[in-house]
Amino acid sequence: MAREKFQTLTEPMFYVLLSLREECCGTDIMARVSALTRGRVSLGPGTLYNLLDSFQQSEMIRETGVSGRKRSYRITDKGRETLEAEYRRLLALTEDYKACVGEERPLP
């Protein structure tokens, strides 16, 4: 069954929202996500464009300025709540993992 939109976040969604805790434009977001994840997560421009559009429609981010072709965005309270909910979910997953497997034992 299809997952309800933004109930849980994919990695690109999570990092875009995380980057927008500070105001920045699309190209900055791509650079920040890459730096933040040390190149593990690459954000394609098409994906970012669609994400920014969806987040804006869902009022999770807002546009803060336009300079030429560059548009800047920032996370809203709703977006922040979604990001924190995802963080708590990930923490819960981590705690569950630790409870089952233990701190030290690596995954087989």
Neighbours of 19 (CB within 10 A): 20
The least distance separating other proteins from the CB of residue 105, rounded to whole angstroms, comes to 25
38 binds other proteins (CB under 8 A): no
40 binds other proteins (CB under 8 A): no
Best CA proximity match to 58, nearest among 2, 7, 98, 100: 7
65 binds other proteins (CB under 8 A): no
54 binds other proteins (CB under 8 A): yes
Best CA proximity match to 22, nearest among 71, 60, 74: 74
| 9, 24, 30, 83: which one binds other proteins (CB under 8 A) | 30
> Maximum Cα–Cα distance for the chain, whole Å?
53
45 binds other proteins (CB under 8 A): yes
Q: Is residue 20 within 8 Å of 74, Cβ to Cβ? A: yes
Binding-site ranges for other proteins (CB under 8 A): 2, 10, 12, 26-27, 30, 42-54, 69-71
